[in-house]
Chains A and B, each alone.
Chain A
C-alpha cells in the first residue's frame, strides 16, 4: 500500500490569484458604452458566511426616466472551509428603479458557469494502492436570481456616482449528483459609474 505524505489542501491562494486576474481581464475587456459603465466590487457570501468576492461590469441597455434595464458580466469566487472552493462567471439582465432621493431597487436574472473544487486532499484506490487524486473540480451550470437595494453615496472618482448596495440572491448548481441544488448568497459592495465621455451620449 502506498501513500503520499500528508499535504496541505490544494493551494487556495493560487485559485484566489487566478480569480483576481480573471476578474481584471473581464473588467478591462468589458464593452464600453457611450452612456456609462458600472463597475462593482462586492463581498459575496454563499450562505452569508462562506466568504467570497464578486467583481462586475454593467452597461445600460434601456433607460426611461426612473426605469433602467441593464446587462452585467461578473466573475466571482467563494470559499467554504473544508468543503469547496468555487469560481464562477455569469451574465445578468437586470431591472432597476431609482427613487428621487438616491435609493434604487434591482431585480436581476442571470446564468453562468461555476467550477467547484474540493477544499482538501483527495485520495483514491488504484490497483489496490491508496493514491492522491488530482483535484480537477466539477463543472456546474449556475442560474441565479437576485433582489438588491442600493443608495447613492455621492460622487466617486472622476465625478461618477458611487453607490453602496446589498443584494440577496438565489443561485443553483446543476448537476450535483444529477440534482439541481439551490443556494442563497448575500452580496454587499460598491458600484461606481464611469462618467460618460464629454460630447457623447
Chain B
C-alpha cells in the first residue's frame, strides 16, 4: 500500500514536472551537463543558448517568453555549462577555463549532430555566454553547420568591459545624485559606488580571485544603480524565479545559486587564465555572420562594448554584421523587449539558415 502510494507520488511529480522536449546529458572532462532540446524539429535549425554567468542556467532562461516564441520556429537547445546551473559532477578545478567551455560547446554540437537531423546551427549567447560564443566562432574549431552567431549584451575581455562599464558609472552616478528627492539609502549607495570606482580606475592584474572579485564588486555597484535593467518590474515578470520553475522543473535552484555565487571559489588561480579572461577576443578573423543585440541602458556591459565588437569583425561584410540597439532594455533585451527580440532573431536566422 505504502509503496503504491509512493510510486503514485513519483509518477504525479513526473507528470507535473516540465518534461517538454528531449533531454540528455553531455559529459566532458568531469562535468555532466544537462541539455534540453525542444521546439520546431521540422525546421532542422538548432539554436544553442549560451547562458550567462559563469554559473547561471539555461533552464532558467528557457522560462522567458521570448525563447518560447523562438521555439515555435526553431529547435531551441538549452545547455547548462560546466559548474553551472543544474550540471552535476565535480569537474576538476583546472577544467574551469574559458577554452574548456568552448571545447564543451563543440561536444554539445557534435552530440546534437549525432542525435538529430541537423541542417544548421545558430549560437545565441548572453553576457558570459557572449564571451564563450565569440571565442567559439573565432576559433578554428567552429563546426561548418554553424551558420550564425547572436551575441546579446555579451562579455568581451574583462579588462575592457570594466573600462566601458566604468564610464557608465561615471556618467550615471552624478545623474543619480542630482535627482531631487533621492532617498538617503540610494544616495549613500551612489556615493559609495563613486568612491569605490575612483579607487579602482582599472580592473588591474593579480591573483585570479582578487581580479575577478573586484569585477564582482563593481558589478554589484552597477546592479545597485539599476545598470542591469531598464524596467525592474518587466524583468521580474519575465526573468523572476517562479514556484513552478523551482518546484516542478528540472532546474535546480540550490545548485544554481551555489554555482553563480561562488564561481570564484572553484576556478583555479592560474595567471594564464587570468590573462585570457582579461583580454578581448580576436574577432578579426570571424567569418560567421553575426547579429549583436544590445540594451541601450546596460551598465554592466554597455553598448560601447557592442560597438567595439562590431568594429573588430573586420572580415565580415556589412550585410553579415549588425548591431541592434534595444532602446527600452538594460542587460537582458530578451526579457525586457521579448517580442522584438524574438522577431529580430527570427529574421536573422531565416535569412541565413
A contact set with B: CB distance below 8 Å? 1-3, 6, 9, 20, 41, 43, 47-51, 53, 79-84, 116, 118, 120-125, 130, 133, 138, 175-184
- In the complex, A1→B113 CA distance in Å? 9
Q: Please name all residues of chain B whose beta carbon is closer than 8 Å to the beta carbon of A130 when the two chains form the complex.
A: 110-111, 114-115
Q: Is B32 an interface residue (CB 8 A)?
A: yes
Q: Please name all residues of chain A whose beta carbon is closer than 8 Å to the beta carbon of B88 when the two chains form the complex.
A: 84, 116, 118, 138, 176
* Nearest CB of chain A from residue B46's CB, rounded to whole Å: 15
Q: Is the CB of B265 within 8 A of A49?
A: no
- In the complex, A6→B115 CA distance in Å? 8
Q: Which 5 A-B residue pairs are closest in the complex by CB-CB distance? A: A82-B250, A81-B17, A130-B114, A177-B83, A3-B114
Q: Is the CB of B250 within 8 A of A79?
A: no
Q: Is the CB of A178 within 8 A of B93?
A: yes
Q: Please name all residues of chain B whose beta carbon is closer than 8 Å to the beta carbon of A138 when the two chains form the complex.
A: 32, 88-90
Q: Is the CB of B258 within 8 A of A180?
A: yes
* Nearest CB of chain B from residue A144's CB, rounded to whole Å: 14
Q: Is B9 an interface residue (CB 8 A)?
A: yes
Count A-B contacts at CB 8 Å.
123
Q: Please name all residues of chain A whose beta carbon is closer than 8 Å to the beta carbon of B262 when the two chains form the complex.
A: 179
- In the complex, A124→B24 CA distance in Å? 11
Other-chain contact of B254, A43, A178, A182 (Cβ < 8 Å): A182
Chain B contacts with A in 216-261, Cβ cutoff 8 A: 246-248, 250-255, 258-259
Q: Is B14 an interface residue (CB 8 A)?
A: yes
Q: Identify 5 new A-B residue pairs, CB closer than 8 A, beyond the known A53-B6, A83-B250, A118-B34.
A: A1-B110, A3-B114, A118-B88, A120-B25, A125-B28
Q: Please name all residues of chain A whose beta carbon is closer than 8 Å to the beta carbon of B2 when the two chains form the complex.
A: 41
Q: Is B91 an interface residue (CB 8 A)?
A: yes
Q: Is the CB of B253 within 8 A of A82?
A: no
**SS of A interface (majority):** strand
Q: Could you list some 24 contacts between A and B, CB below 8 A?
A: A1-B113, A41-B2, A47-B253, A49-B13, A80-B252, A81-B17, A82-B36, A82-B250, A83-B34, A83-B250, A116-B88, A118-B25, A118-B32, A120-B23, A120-B25, A123-B25, A123-B114, A176-B90, A177-B87, A177-B89, A177-B91, A181-B258, A182-B254, A183-B254
* Nearest CB of chain A from residue B26's CB, rounded to whole Å: 6
* Nearest CB of chain A from residue B222's CB, rounded to whole Å: 25
* Nearest CB of chain B from residue A84's CB, rounded to whole Å: 6
* Nearest CB of chain B from residue A71's CB, rounded to whole Å: 24
Q: Is the CB of A81 within 8 A of B258?
A: no
- Known contacts A1-B114, A79-B13, A83-B34; A124 and B107 CB within 8 A of each other: yes
- Known contacts A3-B114, A3-B115, A181-B258; A81 and B13 CB within 8 A of each other: yes
Q: Please name all residues of chain B whose beta carbon is closer than 8 Å to the beta carbon of A2 when the two chains form the complex.
A: 114
Other-chain contact of A120, B24, B28, B265 (Cβ < 8 Å): B24
- Known contacts A49-B13, A50-B13, A83-B34; A122 and B26 CB within 8 A of each other: yes
Q: Is the CB of B23 within 8 A of A82?
A: yes
Q: Please name all residues of chain B whose beta carbon is closer than 8 Å to the beta carbon of A6 when the two chains form the complex.
A: 115
Q: Is B269 an interface residue (CB 8 A)?
A: no
Q: Is the CB of B258 within 8 A of A125?
A: no
- In the complex, A121→B33 CA distance in Å? 11
- In the complex, A164→B31 CA distance in Å? 41
Q: Is the CB of B266 within 8 A of A177?
A: yes
- In the complex, A29→B277 CA distance in Å? 55
* Nearest CB of chain A from residue B213's CB, rounded to whole Å: 16
Q: Is B86 an interface residue (CB 8 A)?
A: yes
Q: Please name all residues of chain A whose beta carbon is closer than 8 Å to the beta carbon of B36 when the two chains form the complex.
A: 82
Chain B contacts with A in 4-29, Cβ cutoff 8 A: 6, 9-10, 13-14, 16-17, 19, 23-28
- Known contacts A120-B25, A130-B111, A182-B254; A48 and B247 CB within 8 A of each other: yes
Q: Is the CB of B90 within 8 A of A83?
A: no
Q: Please name all residues of chain B whose beta carbon is closer than 8 Å to the beta carbon of A80 when the two chains form the complex.
A: 250, 252
Closest to A118 in B: B25
Q: Please name all residues of chain B whose beta carbon is closer than 8 Å to the beta carbon of A120 when the two chains form the complex.
A: 23-25, 34
Q: Is the CB of B28 within 8 A of A181?
A: no
Other-chain contact of A176, B17, B115, B255 (Cβ < 8 Å): B255
Q: Is the CB of B252 within 8 A of A178?
A: no
- Known contacts A49-B247, A124-B26; A181 and B254 CB within 8 A of each other: yes
Q: Please name all residues of chain B whose beta carbon is closer than 8 Å to the beta carbon of A49 when the two chains form the complex.
A: 13, 16, 247-248
Q: Is the CB of B90 within 8 A of A177?
A: yes
Q: Please name all residues of chain B whose beta carbon is closer than 8 Å to the beta carbon of A184 when the two chains form the complex.
A: 254
Q: Please name all residues of chain A whose beta carbon is closer than 8 Å to the beta carbon of B251 when the two chains form the complex.
A: 83
Q: Could you give, for residues 123-144 of chain B, a 1 whenever the CB lies within 8 Å of some chain A CB and a 0 otherwise? A: 0000000000000000000000
Q: Is the CB of B250 within 8 A of A43?
A: no
Closest to A190 in B: B2
Closest to A121 in B: B24
- Known contacts A1-B110, A116-B88; A122 and B10 CB within 8 A of each other: no
- In the complex, A144→B304 CA distance in Å? 48
Other-chain contact of B19, A48, A82, A125 (Cβ < 8 Å): A82
